[in-house]
Chains A and B, each alone.
Chain A
Amino acid sequence: MRPENYQAISQPASNEYELNFGPNHPGIEGNYAFRVKLNGDTVVSARADAGYLHRGFEKLMEGRLWIQNIALVPRICVPDPVPMEVCYSLAIEDLCGLEVPERAQWIRVMQLEMSRLAAHLFAFGGHAATTGMYTPMFWGVADRDLILDRFEELTGGRVYSIYNIPGGVRREVPEGFLGRLSSLLDYLESRLPDYDSLFFTNQVFVKRARGVGTLTQEKALKWGVTGPNLRATGLAFDVRRDDPYLVYDRLEFDIPTEQGGDALARNLIRRAELKQSIHILRQVIERLPSVTGPIRAPIPNPLAWNVPAGETYTRVESSKGELAYYIVSDGSDKPYRVHVRGPSAMHAVQVLEKLAIGSRLEDIAQIMFSLDACPPEVDR
């Protein structure tokens, strides 16, 4: 081409490409999207796009009775619904000054730890699937199903149990349940070496996940990261230990930490927490038969129950991080304001956007699953 014929055409940076890492994608946990700008294979910027799962929970909860919201509340976090129910019940008990009987508190701790086991098995199973290793995913989902069987026996529902109400729990533990739970824990413990050799210490996975999505402790504190993601950077903070609720101050458990802060460290933390949850459950199983008493504190007629006016902020450690409820009551039979602060509100939006920059396109799915970012908690 002759130089005098050359006309420079203005066009955008020709090596930048915008991709809709959209809601219909197996690498996204749930229904969530990103707008990713790529330079070849490397991510230059990422913008989260939420709202696909928005149901307006906080508005719905203002229009229903206090007891009706128990049915709505577990649906906010789908893989790990029990901490939501427990947190809501604890908040109402705080407002009313209800004293939960001791047996109900031990049963609640048992449910919370079972739910934590199920959620961690699902989380690292999902992470294995994003790296292409489908066998740990099949194992994780199958072992989680055995825990869901125990939930079904105890509460009647596999996923959404609706078993905790303000004042206690709804039904007594069935006959022989503790024996079956104990043998399930033995089975899970015997499976851990298999998981280790196939997944956690497998060089294929270790090389793939090391250095991906590294968080330092200062960045984690600045960005509001909580839960296993914060513990993977070295800070041993757990709501069960530092802001205890129910009977956690009487139980013995360690808070595992790791130093790496990358996807591998987060998975190792989840594996260590599996062991700790099994340890807590064994203590509960040992203690529960000797704790007798009612399973429910008496509450007035739920269909015409005026909770005293006030406000409260209750926190619980869910499997993903710090879960908090802020409830304002104006003395009527419906809540005035319920604000749900899910742990993924931080992880799925700001942390994921910032960690994705500089990583490769195939690592975004890994980062999302290793942070255990749950989109329904962002959207509510």
Chain B
Amino acid sequence: MSKDLNIWLDNLLEDIESVQFRRKSSRRVRVDVAAEALPALLELLQGHASYVHLSAITCVDWIEEDEFELIYHLWSYEAHSLVSAHTRIPRDPGVYLSIYDLYQPAAFFERDIHEMFGVYFEGSPDMEKFILTEWNGPPPMRKDFDSEAFVNQTFEWEEYRPKWLEEIEAEGGGITTRPEDVRR
């Protein structure tokens, strides 16, 4: 029964034109859809193909292509297969529809993506800050935010002058290569 469901799903998805479909292994499927068509695809998967479990929503920041990629991972308890639905939205307004009315766990992920990437989900029940309530800077997971530069600006480091180093320096030696020069 579950194998038939997979075969039926493969055939269905191949037929739809605006959907690019690739089965990576017996339990992993990758689907690429346009941003407007994604909620309809998710409704189809949930209602007709038993994909009731939303495992995660991931956001990837493709800064060179000026786009955010949103990936919805759905798992079916009956077909034992995972469908990852990929879609791209332009980086500039960074707004998308929420799927809270289909999948309730989406509220957590959408709130998380909103505060980490700045993507706004219309229709999501709660877009308030959750983890970064004491943070006033830009959305930290974006690729144009440099964490190390921020740290060097905001925090001071502990002075590290151990005795053995002072003894070596008194004899004329010392550190020749600093750690910052070795790291890329």
Interface residues of A (CB under 8 A from B): 48-51, 54, 56, 58-60, 63, 221-224, 226, 235, 237, 242-243, 313, 315, 322, 324, 326, 328, 336-337, 339, 341, 345-346, 349-350, 378-379
Contacts and interface: CB of A to CB of B under 8 A. Distances in A.
A365 B53 CA distance: 27
Contact of B104 (A242, A350, A379): A350
A350 B141 contact: no
Please report whether the interface of chain A is mostly helix, strand, loop or mixed according to DSSP. mixed
Interface of B: 27-28, 52-56, 58, 60-61, 71, 73, 77, 80, 82, 84, 103-105, 107-109, 116, 130-134, 140-141, 145, 147-148
Contacts of A243: 27, 80, 82
Contact of A349 (B60, B61, B108, B140): B108
B131 A313 contact: no
A226 B28 CA distance: 19
Given A224-B54, A337-B61, 17 more contacts: A49-B133, A51-B134, A54-B131, A59-B140, A59-B141, A222-B104, A224-B105, A226-B53, A242-B80, A243-B27, A313-B82, A315-B82, A341-B56, A345-B108, A346-B105, A350-B104, A350-B105
A51 B130 contact: yes
Given A237-B77, A243-B80, A379-B131, A58 B141 contact: yes
A221 B75 CA distance: 11
A224 B56 CA distance: 10
Nearest to B73: A313
Contacts of A313: 28, 55, 73, 82, 84
A60 B27 contact: no
Contact of B71 (A51, A63, A224, A326): A326
Contacts of B53: 221, 224, 226
B73 to A, nearest CB: 6
Given A56-B147, A60-B147, A221-B52, A51 B131 contact: yes
Contacts of B80: 242-243
15 contacts: A48-B130, A51-B131, A51-B133, A54-B132, A59-B141, A223-B105, A224-B105, A324-B55, A326-B58, A326-B71, A328-B60, A336-B60, A345-B109, A349-B108, A350-B107
A246 B131 CA distance: 34
Contacts of A326: 56, 58, 71, 73
Contacts of A346: 105, 108
B118 to A, nearest CB: 14
A226 B56 CA distance: 12
A59 B54 CA distance: 24
Contacts of B109: 345
B27 A50 contact: no
